[in-house]
C-alpha cells in the first residue's frame, strides 16, 4: 500500500503522520520506520518506531534516497511500513516535477518486499502528477 498526504505547510500533514505511525505500531505485526529531516518528531512518536534522521546523510537526489530506503529494508526484513515526512526536506533538490521518480521506485519496493509507504508532500494538491493523484489519501 502506498499513501500520499499532500498539502501546503500548516494543512495538518504532520499530525496525520504522528497518528498514522502510532497506529501502525499497535496494529502492524512488523517494524515501523519513520524517516524525517531532523529530530522534531522524536517525542511525539511511539518509542517502538525506528526513527531515521536524514540530516545525518548528505542526500542529493532521489537515487540516493532510494538507496537509503533499500538499506533500511535490507537491514531489517521485518519492516512492514516506512513513513516519510516532508520528502522535499529530506531531498532538497527534489520537487513536484521530479517526484514520479521516487514514486516509481517505491512502487517496486512495495511489490518486491511487501512494505507499505506513507509520504507527506508539501505542495498544492493541484500540482500533483497523475501518478501522485493515484495514491492521495
Residue of higher predicted confidence among 89 and 10: 89
Residue of higher predicted confidence among 137 and 72: 72
Please give the pLDDT value at position 13.
86
Please give the pLDDT value at position 5.
93
Q: What is the tens place of the pLDDT at every residue in 22-38?
A: 999 999 899 999 999 88
Q: What is the tens place of the pLDDT at every residue in 97-112?
A: 889 999 999 999 999 9
pTM of the entire predicted model: 0.91
Q: What is the mean pLDDT of residues 120-127?
A: 90
Question: Which phi and psi (to 5°) does residue 98 adopt?
Answer: -120, 0
Number of domains making up the chain? 1
Which of 136, 26, 19, 21 lies closest to 84 in space, CA to CA?
Answer: 21
CATH of the domain at 52: 3.40.50.300
Q: What is the tens place of the pLDDT at every residue in 54-92?
A: 988 989 999 999 999 999 999 999 999 999 998 888 888
C-alpha–C-alpha distance, residues 54 and 29, integer Å: 25
Give the range of the structural domain holding residue 87, as residue numbers without chain letter.
Answer: 2-135
Amino acid at each position: 500500500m502506498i499513501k500520499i498526504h499532500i498539502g501546503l505547510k500548516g494543512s495538518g500533514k504532520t499530525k496525520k503522520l504522528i497518528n498514522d505511525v502510532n497506529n501502525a505500531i499497535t496494529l502492524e505485526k512488523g517494524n515501523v520506520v519513520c524517516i524525517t529531516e531532523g529530530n522534531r518528531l522524536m517525542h511525539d512518536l511511539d518509542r517502538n518506531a525506528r526513527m531515521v534522521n536524514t540530516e545525518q546523510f548528505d542526500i542529493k537526489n532521489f537515487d540516493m534516497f532510494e538507496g537509503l530506503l533499500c538499506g533500511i529494508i535490507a537491514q531489517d526484513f521485518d519492516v512492514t511500513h516506512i513513513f516519510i515526512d516532508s520528502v522535499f526536506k529530506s531531498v532538497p533538490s527534489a520537487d513536484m516535477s521530479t517526484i514520479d521518480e521516487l514514486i516509481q521506485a517505491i512502487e517496486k519496493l512495495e511489490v518486491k518486499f511487501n512494505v507499505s509507504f506513507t509520504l507527506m508532500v508539501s505542495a498544492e494538491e493541484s500540482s500533483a502528477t497523475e501518478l501522485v493523484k493515484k495514491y492521495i489519501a
